[in-house]
Amino acid sequence: MKLLYDGKTKAVYELDQDKCVLEFKDDITGEDGRIDPGSNYVLGKLEGKGKSSLKMSQHFFKLLQEQGVPSHYIDSDLAKNNMVVWKAQTFGQGLEVVCRFKAYGSFLRRYARYAQEFQPLNALVEVTLKDDERGDPLINDESLIQLGLLTERELEIIKALARKVAVIVKNDLALKGLELVDIKFEFGRIGQEIVVIDDISGDNMRVFKNGIQVPPRELSDLVAE
Amino acid sequence: MKLLYDGKTKAVYELDQDKCVLEFKDDITGEDGRIDPGSNYVLGKLEGKGKSSLKMSQHFFKLLQEQGVPSHYIDSDLAKNNMVVWKAQTFGQGLEVVCRFKAYGSFLRRYARYAQEFQPLNALVEVTLKDDERGDPLINDESLIQLGLLTERELEIIKALARKVAVIVKNDLALKGLELVDIKFEFGRIGQEIVVIDDISGDNMRVFKNGIQVPPRELSDLVAE
């Protein structure tokens, strides 16, 4: 299979004209020796990490299917550490759409003058550009539209989808006594339809249990038996 | 008079219960020895700079008065380098509202992957928090509202006012063969009314003539005889 993209935590191969295979890697991201799923730096490898992310993504993509939320998910193979998905077009070179239920991480660092740590937020959505070189800059609605990354209508659909999926994930985690603080999605177009792409794993969300952050791997074991 | 605030380019004194006096300083801002009105660092002093900024602000605030745009402006005294204004409440510790007609400066640095230098923008508005320590972070509409800095309605009023005033300034500059690339405003509340506050000078806008950026002082002489 042709390698289309080699990312920090996944590689993307072309399966056929319409489908891709995502290979989940064992690389972990973080900074200063501390694991941080939001980081742009690869810290090292952790045996079984790819499978763990895949297991959790499989769980959530199946949950989305059940709830009728469009995504790129077709099937996954835990033995092969991969997921088969529909090919989708990103918006520009990719947007990250964050949905926040509590003030934490980069939001808190930026707005520390006004936000308290863990202050409740009402499914607040922020969009950043995937651009490691420039630290994934935040972008507002007008700029997204005027730079031609998407239309006003597409932006509204994406925000509503991000909130909807975030609430589905939040509620599912809550059943296991886990609290979702924030979650990051990517969206793409398959033809005219806007769908959830990428993965939905511990790499893309911050989850707490009894006030302590749950590391991605442990999270996967708690979420997807 | 009681000193209320000592800023990078202005000091604010209390005149009475309802009014303040803005004293325009000779300090210039910039980085690496290069004057940049958008910078948060004071480079040094430039004799006559305060008067020059005041003269330009006076010109534009009078123009706004003529056009019925609400501002804090009451009167100014070029001999004393000061301006008398109505006391206004800032939103939080202050917001900066930027209106852009071309891609330049921080916008271009953030979105270089998608924006070309001087690419036309349709009076694009961005809001940043006044927070030197955190580099005046960009903030989106939802965050402004959820952090309680202003209401949705106030944000709409501010955006519309920013665009309106930016176009007034742009058209006035165009009469003198000058091109406005971007401009930064501050807004405040006087009672329930939202008004333009701070100054409207070369410190807050980037203006070009025949493709070359005009320094603030020269700009003041060209704009306000």
C-alpha span between B31 and B38 (Å, rounded): 10
Beta-carbon contacts of A66 under 8 Å, excluding residues fewer than 6 positions away, are none
Q: Which domains does chain B have, with CATH numbers?
A: 2-88 (3.30.200.20), 90-223 (3.30.470.20)
* pLDDT averaged over every residue in chain B: 94
Share of chain A above pLDDT 90, in %: 83
Residues 6+ apart with CB under 8 A from A72: A85, A86, A87, A88, A188, A190, A195, A196, A197
Residue in the structure block whose two tokens are 């077009």: A89
CB contact under 8 A, A92 and B113: yes
Instruction: Tell me the C-alpha to C-alpha distance, in Å, between residue A65 and each of A62, A77, A116, B141.
Output: 5, 17, 36, 31
Residues B16-43: tens digit of each pLDDT: 999 999 999 988 878 877 777 667 788 8
Alpha-carbon distance values, A6 to A27, A28, A131, A196 (Å): 12, 14, 15, 19
Instruction: Kindly report the pTM of this predicted structure.
Output: 0.93
Query: What does the pLDDT look like over A126-150, one tens digit per residue?
Result: 999 999 999 999 999 999 999 999 9
The better pLDDT of the pair A158, A203 is held by A158
What residues of B are in the A interface, CB distance below 8 Å? 92-93, 107, 109-115, 121-122, 124-127, 129, 131, 134, 137-143, 146-149
Rounded to whole angstroms, the Cα distance separating A224 from A58 reads: 9
**Residue B215 structure tokens:** 């320094």
A-B Cβ pairs (cutoff 8 Å, strict):
73
The answer to whether the complex's ipTM is over 0.85 is: yes
Cβ distance B142 to A126 less than 8 Å, yes or no, reads: yes
Phi, psi of B221 (to 5 degrees): -65, -35
Q: What tokens appear for A90 in the block? A: 């990103």
What does the pLDDT look like over B63-85, one tens digit per residue? 999 999 999 999 999 999 999 99
CA separation (Å) from B162 to B70, B98, B166, B208, B213?
12, 8, 6, 20, 22
CA-based nearest residue to B184, from B112, B104, B125: B125
Please report the pLDDT score of residue A32 as a whole number.
78
